[in-house]
């Protein structure tokens, strides 16, 4: 494999992660419009949104099997096309049943592309024999921010329909370019004859750690701003910056994570990152001033940013004969944590306080640190 081909494939995968983020950010700007158009309560709309997450979780194991059957390159660009075409479905759905059905299709495209492009990223990493996965996930963070900001601007300038058309066209062109530069399908196709076999116990263990990592992220995303608003009695706009600081820390971590993993190893990186997440989150919850709390949220994001990419890499390497299946197991459990975390925090908050309930995320980070040796496989090439 020539250096040129590997560099082109690396840039192609990075492009796919950025495009994934752009489409995800575009959809995020459409959510309030969809809720207003459907004219349903927030609780009903929240349940309808679960169809998207449900579609993703159901599709991920299937995508892992398809990666083994056809190769990650082919599944990646097909799912990228599906994502670009399906993002408009729930955005334009005229009634709740169609919104839920199109949302499930969108979720399936999101989840399948996530598994396939991570599997191909792992293939690139294995061929290059050096860490690159964190940088790919950093690309998603940049894409999501760009998609949200540019998407909001386009909504104001040209309206929802043109915004969706522009985003989908850009994504389709980008996926077409990336598809021409991905590595050959034979490199990770048909390595295992058992396309739908169950993942190993160790892979599921990494998935449970990913469950905790994404539970932390989902809980801070949904409850961090409200906790700030209640504790410091600040306006909603200032409180909402808590997740912005968190995401900034995560982006910085991901663009430095590959260098850190190469220098210190996956186990040490995850252990220190998880401890930093625990310390930053606890400080954010206990800080006496809003400025200190925001800085602590950035510190917590700096810790959390690299955990999921390393877990994905470890999941794929634990099943060398079916890396897509290993990644699917980790991502499926991770997404489940992202879904389960916020409701759990809400239930505990009703019994105690929101501040106390969010300490569950501190405990989750400490558990990840304690079991960090499980990610040792991420350093094998």
Query: How does pLDDT run across 197-224, given as a tens digit for each residue?
Result: 566 777 889 999 999 999 998 888 768 8
Give the three-state DSSP class for 356.
Answer: helix
pLDDT in tens, 103-152: 999 999 998 999 899 889 988 988 898 889 899 988 988 888 788 788 88
What's the pTM value of the predicted model, to 2 decimals? 0.81
> Mean pLDDT for the chain?
87
Least-confidence region, from 50-54, 85-89, 318-322, 350-354: 318-322
- Which ranges of the chain does DSSP label H, i.e. alpha helix? 3-38, 42-70, 72-86, 88-92, 96-128, 133-158, 160-181, 201-232, 236-264, 266-286, 290-304, 307-318, 323-351, 354-357, 359-370
Angstrom CA distances, 114 to 39, 67, 108, 262, 264, stand at 31, 12, 10, 24, 27
Q: What is the pLDDT of residue 2?
A: 60
Which tokens in the block code for residue 343? 């409701």
Check residues 364 and 25 and name the one with the higher pLDDT.
364
Contact predicate 261/306, CB 8 Å:
yes
pLDDT (mean) for 74-88: 94
Give percent of the chain above pLDDT 90: 45
Q: What is the pLDDT of residue 40?
A: 79
> What residue spans define the domains of the chain?
3-182, 201-379
Q: Which residue has the tokens 């499926």?
A: 332
Mention every residue, 6+ apart, whose C-beta is less than 8 A from residue 351: none
CATH topology of domain 3-182: Growth Hormone; Chain: A; (1.20.1250)
Same-fold call for 3-182 versus 201-379 = yes
Mention every residue, 6+ apart, whose C-beta is less than 8 A from residue 56: 107, 108, 110, 111, 114, 335
Q: Does domain 201-379 have CATH number 3.20.20.210?
A: no
Q: What is the pLDDT of residue 3?
A: 64
Mention every residue, 6+ apart, whose C-beta is less than 8 A from residue 361: 215, 216, 219, 220, 281, 341, 345
């Amino acid at each position: 494999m020539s250096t040129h081909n590997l560099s082109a494939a690396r840039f192609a995968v990075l492009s796919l992660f950025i495009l994934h983020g752009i489409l995800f950010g575009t959809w995020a700007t459409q959510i309030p419009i969809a809720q207003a158009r459907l004219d349903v309560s927030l609780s009903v709309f929240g349940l309808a949104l679960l169809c998207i997450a449900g579609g993703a979780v159901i599709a991920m194991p299937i995508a892992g099997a398809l990666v083994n059957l056809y190769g990650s390159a082919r599944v990646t660009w097909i799912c990228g096309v599906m994502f670009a075409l399906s993002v408009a479905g729930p955005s334009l759905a005229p009634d709740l049943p169609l919104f839920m059905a199109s949302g499930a299709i969108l979720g399936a495209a999101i989840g399948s592309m996530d598994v396939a492009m991570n599997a191909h990223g792992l293939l690139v990493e294995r061929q290059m024999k050096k860490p690159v996965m964190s940088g790919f996930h950093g690309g998603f963070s940049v894409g999501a921010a760009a998609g949200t900001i540019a998407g909001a601007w386009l909504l104001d300038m040209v309206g929802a329909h043109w915004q969706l058309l522009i985003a989908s066209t850009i994504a389709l062109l980008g996926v077409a370019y990336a598809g021409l530069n991905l590595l050959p399908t034979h490199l990770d196709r048909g390595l295992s004859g058992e396309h739908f076999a169950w993942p190993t116990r160790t892979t599921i263990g990494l998935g449970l750690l990913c469950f905790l990592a994404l539970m932390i992220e989902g809980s801070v995303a949904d409850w961090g701003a409200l906790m700030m608003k209640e504790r410091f009695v600040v306006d909603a706009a200032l409180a909402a910056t808590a997740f912005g600081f968190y995401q900034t820390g995560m982006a910085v971590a991901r663009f430095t994570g590959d260098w850190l993993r190469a220098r210190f190893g996956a186990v040490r990186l995850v252990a220190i990152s998880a401890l930093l997440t625990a310390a930053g989150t606890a400080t954010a919850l206990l800080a006496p001033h809003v400025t200190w709390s925001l800085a602590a949220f950035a510190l917590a994001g700096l810790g959390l940013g690299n955990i999921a990419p390393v877990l994905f890499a470890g999941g794929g390497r634990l099943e060398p004969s079916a890396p897509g299946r290993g990644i699917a197991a980790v991502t499926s459990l991770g997404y489940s944590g992202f879904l389960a975390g916020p409701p759990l925090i809400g239930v505990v908050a009703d019994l105690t306080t929101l501040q106390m309930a969010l300490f569950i995320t501190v405990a989750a980070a400490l558990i990840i640190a304690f079991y960090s040796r499980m990610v040792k496989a991420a350093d094998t090439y």
